[in-house]
Amino acid sequence: MDIIELIAQDESPKLDFKREWYKEADLKTELIKDIIVLTF
Looking at residue 20, its pLDDT comes to 80
Looking at residue 36, its pLDDT comes to 87
Higher-confidence position of 17 and 4: 4
Q: Give me the residues paired with residue 15 across strands.
A: 12
Chain-centroid distance of CA 21 in Å reads 10
DSSP 9: S
Q: Express each pLDDT in 7-36 by its tens digit.
A: 788 877 777 777 788 888 878 888 888 888
Q: Give me the residues paired with residue 12 across strands.
A: 15
